[in-house]
Amino acid sequence: MYAIVDIETTGGYAENHRMTEIAIIHHDGLQITGRFQTLINPGRRVPLFITGLTGITNEMVSQAPLFEDIAPEIHEQLKEKVFVAHNAHFDYSFLKKELEEAGISWSSRRLCTVKLSRKIIPGLDSYSLGRLAESLGIVITDRHRAGGDAEATARIFDQLLKRDERGVIAKALKRNSGDAILPPNLRKEDYDLLPAKPGVYYFLDGRGQVIYVGKAINLKKRITGHFTGEAAEWNRSNIRNEIHGIRYELTGNELIALILEAKEIRSRWPKYNLAQKVRVESWGVFDYYDRNGFRRFVVNAVGRNAKPLVTFANKSAAWSALWTKVKDFELCPKLSGLQVAKGPCYAHLSGSCRGACEGKEAVAEYNARTETMMASFVPGGMSAAIFGPGRSEQEQSVILVEQGQYIGFGYASAGQSLNELGAIREVIIPDRENRIAQGIVTSVLQNPVEQEVIYFD
């Protein structure tokens, strides 16, 4: 038995929006056997643009039942039935969340009529509900209302059942098919080919344009997380419906994936990489002398023409690196901009600061340690190579820094000797100035926990 569902809502993602209407049509595989439909009071105002789309007003839902009041009845309509909807993830995510909040645990096998139509009736220009119904000679009455759209979906599903000569529906119903979690326009064959390896992935729209770039230690796991998660920042957009394909590039390790992701986002500006489209801001550690002659340090954003001692990809990395250096060289947190409390610093009270903040340590003695500390940062004239795993067991990766500047990365055979700068330069693909990559690499050089680093004079 199938439950063919359509809902109307106050917005596009389940985490922050509520349902305003639901229609459920029962189908036994041969014909429609029953119908259920009701408006729902969402407990909030219906946005004007939703009213414009659906015709559902605040007045219409004000006297309708709250979801929790009819949750048992809705669950009765759905339980022990295969859930069917056009773009099933959308409707299913709302219903599952609403039922859970009403104290009802529910799950169901799912069928998406968008995905089924692509396989059973290939070659159409569009698989939207309106265009698909039109191509099948189905007239939708009461468009963008739950009852009208559910009725159209039921008639489409009826056609799919009759045309399914290759057993597409039966295959989709296998619990381990994984088909239900995928975006409606993505082929399962493309998803199945994803490797469980580090790399950068690209979501493509129907024209093959990149609309999102991400990085992962495990490409398969990370991309699956996108499709199964309920994160508001993901479901708020229409990105699920726009994904038609996935490309990926193996990197061998997370560090190069981070660098490549930053480069690709800044060069392609994908429409859904919103967080990375803000102005790039690297952070640095700066030094200056106070009126008593003590050398002080401060973490600040790196502006145009600024000359920090060292730069990092973000403020957190810069603070963490400076804290480590201050502790290692027994410097004063107050004189390093890491503590603002009045009186002696906490480190002096515990014995790890020698008292510069209280005038108990000579300026020359304190500043001598700051010189040593500054030299421990990667100096501007130093070159280094950072080695890591390659894209296969027969390969190694290498990142090159020359005179403190990130140059690029490349790959070489695992047995190839790369002990000289000249040999490393031959395998490196030069990268144009990349402030994010510079900060990432600098952070690693300050604390190379998992990386093998060779320094060159």
Whole-angstrom distance, CA of residue 408 vs CA of residue 402: 10
- Describe the strand order of the beta sheet including 383-389 as a list of residue ranges: 428-430, 405-413, 395-402, 383-389, 452-456
Contact at 8 Å (CB) between 327 and 265?
no
3-state secondary structure of 190: helix
Task: Return the beta strands (E) in 77-139 as ranges.
Answer: 82-85, 110-112
Contacts of residue 109, Cβ cutoff 8 Å, sequence gap at least 6: 82, 83, 173, 175, 180
Instruction: Indicate the residue type of 231.
Output: A
* Cα–Cα distance, 88 to 134 (Å, whole number): 20
Distance CA 106, CA 77 (A): 12
Backbone angles phi, psi at 50, to 5 degrees: -70, -40
Instruction: Give the active site residue among 26, 27, 86, 144.
Output: 144
> Residue 98, Cβ neighbours under 10 Å: how many?
21
Structure tokens at 220: 């398969």
Cα 361 versus chain centre, distance = 49
Known active-site residue 348: no
End-to-end CA distance of the chain: 74
Q: What is the DSSP letter of 445?
A: H
Which residues participate in catalysis according to the annotation?
A: 144
